[in-house]
Chain A
Amino acid sequence: MNINRSITVKYMIHIKRLQEDGADVIVLIGEIDASSSIELDLAIAKSVGEGFTKILVDCSALEYISSAGLGVFMSYIEEFKDKNNHGTFWHE
């Protein structure tokens, strides 16, 4: 039987941010689950905190997302509506 007791995977998601035409582009590379969704939340919170009203999330290199990651996106929907912010996701 395989036994995995230790913490083996620390960097399953790599998040890059770049700015294009006044929009903040958040590029997700890897997998988002209950563990790595915290980093996604921090990245969006940082973007919102820095005052960006147009946020694009590039999911082209996102290989996996669980409800924890979807929950992060959903938790910002109301805030975006209130502030008239725009969030767009794309996956090629």
Chain B
Amino acid sequence: MNYKYKVGCSIENLKGVRDFIRTSLKSHGVPDLEISEVVLALDEMCSNLMIHAHHCNPDDLFELHIKVENNDPVIFEIIDDGTVFDINEFSEPGLDNLIHEKRKGGLGIRLVKTIMDKVEYQKTSGKNICRLTKTIHFLKPKS
């Protein structure tokens, strides 16, 4: 099944993004722990996009698509037209450096890479698609 959500780039909208993901996955037998993991990873990706690519402009919109089919990896797509920031090309700082330098960035990318199986980027007719894939251990339907 496919789910779509369109939202403005204001960081106050992140809660709406998280609720959309939770609601979409809940009825498909995705365990709560794995829902929490992907919610965190997508929140990190969306907040990065809102802040760095769109400077929190609420009039800039992006789309989040979720494709969930039982026993297949779940695919999340973030579609926008801003500047692409490829997290695969970013080497995240060590935790000691984060503390020492009082840096508030870099931790989110580490979390996304840990949680997701794959993060891919594609550009199609002026739109950027960031595709995140996650293998889920679906709960068996109650008989």
Contacts and interface: CB of A to CB of B under 8 A. Distances in A.
A23 B104 CA distance: 26
Contact of B43 (A10, A33, A75, A77): A33
A77 B102 CA distance: 8
Q: How large is the interface on A (under 10, 10 to 19, 20 to 34, 35 or more residues)?
A: 20 to 34
Contacts of A34: 11, 14, 43, 47, 50-51
Contacts of B136: none
Interface residues of B, number: 36
A35 interface: yes
Interface in B100-137: 100, 102-105, 107-108, 110-111
B13 A4 contact: yes
Contacts, number: 91
Given A74-B99, A78-B99, A67 B6 contact: no
A8 B100 contact: no
A20 B5 CA distance: 45
Contact of A3 (B6, B58, B111): B6
A70 B107 contact: yes
Nearest to B111: A67
B41 to A, nearest CB: 10
Contacts of B102: 74-75, 78
A1 B8 contact: no
A33 B111 contact: no
Interface of A: 1-10, 12, 31, 33-35, 64, 66-68, 70-72, 74-75, 77-78
